[in-house]
């Protein structure tokens, strides 16, 4: 029996939601390449991932996203707690307004998804915030963060969120499916996915990459930093990807957004530092016969910072998008459910047979 650490290469189930083609560097949602979807409205892509087409989807999401007085009071009790801990704790106690009855239990999952933007916005400001009237999911969130943000900011945020709705059996989606296989409620599945997403090796690389650029302090220092990191066998967060043998297809879009948003602003130095780190790292890997490039996380933190979002919220923003993927996996797993119960190779002491 082969023991593959991290289940690498092990097929544990079937899925029609998304295809990660690591050899070719392609990502598709239900047969549509992300190059066809990246400029489409976020909720249109979310419905594609979910495999549904619901009437008045935007309006129903907007209505379901209004936090009740009870929910707002619960959030105020959280105190100075990391936003991801707040999300994971809040998800199981959110109320269902019955906005998506045709989806059954999964409809409650969409009600949870609808409320996450206002939860994050309330935590961002440290107080309850008015629920905007905008029907656009991404624009509604940005209005709660900073109503002065313009069209370029809204476009950048929407593209970034579209790119991270879904990514096959990533750690968070797999955790959600494991919980779903027990026939646990959909809220528990979402909470499990968010818990996995909080890990530095999963959803936290964008914050880590941005903090790295801040520590390096300039493009001229990037080469020395990379050389020292490699000499010390230290990970350069945001470089390379477990699945992709070539460039992460999402990364080029986020890098372009970061470049364009940073141009001519105080953020340009940070962009140039990141670009210099990426260039040196890729060069050093090429010398070793490896093709490793920046992944989607590497420049994403800078995009979020330019939009005025603080680093401790970066993973929560990721969760706001990926929650639709978790609900899609919940729905798919329910169609032919079997409790996940993998085997483990026992390597401990064996009692004497006597």
pLDDT band at 2 (very low <50, low <70, confident <90, very high): low
Structural domain count of the chain: 2
pLDDT tens string 15-72: 999 998 877 879 999 999 999 999 999 999 999 999 999 999 999 999 999 999 999 9
Q: Residue 306: which of 190, 142, 126 has the closest Cα?
A: 142
For residue 343, pLDDT over 90 is answered with no
Same-domain check for residues 234 and 148: no
| Res 5: pLDDT | 74
Q: What CA–CA distance (Å, rounded) separates 220 from 23?
A: 33
Are 61 and 181 contained in the same domain? yes
Q: In this structure, what CATH number is given to the domain that contains residue 64?
A: 1.10.580.10
- The mean pLDDT of 306-317, rounded to a whole number, is 96
CA 32 to CA 139: how far, in whole Å? 24
The fraction of the chain above a pLDDT of 70, given in percent, is 98
Are residues 53 and 139 both part of a single domain? yes
Q: What is the pLDDT of residues 116-151, one digit of tens each?
A: 999 999 999 999 888 887 889 999 999 999 999 999
* 123 and 227 inside one domain: no
Share of the chain above pLDDT 90, in %: 73
CATH at 250: 1.10.230.10
Contact 145, 121 (CB under 8 A): yes
Please tell me the pTM assigned to this model: 0.93
Asked whether residue 217 is domain-assigned, the answer is yes
Pair (175, 211) in one structural domain: no
Range of the structural domain that residue 244 is part of? 205-306
CA dist list (Å): 347 to 3, 189, 337, 344: 12, 31, 31, 9
To the nearest whole number, what is the mean pLDDT of the chain?
92
Tell me if 100 is assigned to some domain. yes
């Amino acid at each position: 029996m082969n023991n593959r650490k991290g289940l690498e290469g092990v097929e544990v189930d079937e899925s029609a939601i998304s295809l990660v083609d690591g050899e070719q560097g392609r990502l598709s949602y239900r047969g549509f390449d992300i190059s066809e979807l990246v400029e489409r409205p976020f909720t249109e892509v979310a419905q594609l991932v979910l495999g549904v087409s619901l009437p008045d989807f935007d309006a129903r999401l907007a209505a379901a996203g209004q936090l009740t007085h009870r929910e707002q009071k619960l959030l105020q009790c959280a105190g100075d707690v990391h936003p991801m801990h707040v999300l994971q704790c809040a998800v199981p106690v959110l109320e269902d307004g019955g906005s998506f009855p045709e989806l059954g239990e999964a409809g409650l999952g969409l009600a949870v998804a609808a409320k996450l933007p206002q939860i994050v916005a309330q935590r961002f400001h440290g107080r309850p915030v008015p629920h905007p009237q905008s029907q656009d999911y991404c624009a509604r969130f940005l209005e709660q963060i900073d109503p002065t943000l313009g069209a370029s900011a809204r476009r950048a945020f929407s593209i970034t969120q579209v790119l991270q709705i879904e990514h096959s059996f990533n750690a968070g989606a797999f955790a959600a499916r494991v919980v779903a296989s027990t026939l646990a409620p959909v809220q528990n599945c979402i909470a499990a996915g968010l818990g996995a997403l909080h890990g530095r090796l999963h959803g936290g690389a964008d914050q880590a990459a941005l903090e790295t650029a801040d520590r390096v302090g300039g493009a001229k220092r990037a080469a020395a930093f990379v050389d020292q990191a490699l000499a010390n066998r230290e990970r350069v967060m945001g470089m390379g990807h477990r699945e992709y043998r070539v460039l992460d297809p999402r990364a080029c879009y986020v890098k372009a957004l970061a470049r364009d948003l940073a141009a001519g602003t105080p953020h340009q130095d940070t962009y140039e530092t990141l670009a210099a780190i990426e260039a040196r790292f890729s060069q050093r890997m090429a010398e070793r016969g490896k093709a490793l490039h920046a992944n989607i996380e590497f420049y994403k933190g800078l995009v979020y910072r330019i939009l005025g979002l603080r680093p401790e919220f970066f993973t929560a923003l990721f969760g706001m998008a990926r929650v639709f993927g978790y609900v899609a996996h919940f729905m798919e797993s329910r169609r032919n459910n079997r409790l996940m119960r993998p085997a483990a190779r026992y390597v401990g002491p064996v009692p004497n047979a006597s």
